[in-house]
Structure 1
């Protein structure tokens, strides 16, 4: 696998999706959780999506329950929460693991492409973000504390 567009993942409705359907788009990939201190970032992520989607940005949310059991629900519960609490319309995927032996292959690849603090590949917490350019290459990794507003400023510089 050489670009983000070479991967597949099951969406929140259980359908297998090729990330290639967003070929030529800029992707912001985020491991999300419904019961985290960073959960209010859903609002900013949705604003990014609505503001920049006509310019080719796609926000992709990947629920993960590996950090403090902060995503305990099933896909239907996650979808309902995101819709009613934050009016999320950007694509959401089925719950995955981002670290360890069962990490989703897409996340294994993302972590190899953009290492974290001190060169670590591990995702440290919910709402770690990866910016992928229109060619499918990872260009930046953002910490959970990096807000969608900060990312918006970076997008405006591009």
Structure 2
């Protein structure tokens, strides 16, 4: 049966860095990491290492706004596609979503892919979700994740 593992903690507490090291060299892991590249938060496809900046360029028309941040619709469409495609690949035992934040609680961001994945979670697929500490309970409630086995992720050995 599928399980959901949570990584939560304060901003800048090395969640993505530790997760990146855990994913390195593994062939059974896919999904998205959110590293900072050239001082910009990005999505990085774990399997291909391809990355795109989350923040919109100044001339982008299709954007998502949350607080003082303006995010690229194009990047989020790509990220949603990566999650959905990866969740269906044979051999993937771990799907990483780094991270679920305020956009998703508003039904934006990665929400389209998350709703599909959470409603049809294959029994062989374990999810690793990075969730902001302040909204963790809200995410668990809104997506009804407690119906799965939810526990903290402890970076098991490869």
User: Which structure exhibits the higher relative contact order, with contacts defined as CA atoms closer than 8 Å and separated by 6 or more residues?
Assistant: 2
- Whether TM-score is above 0.5 comes out as no
Q: If the length of structure 2 is used for normalisation, what is the TM-score?
A: 0.30
Q: If the length of structure 1 is used for normalisation, what is the TM-score?
A: 0.30
Kindly indicate which of the two structures has a greater share of residues assigned to strand. 2
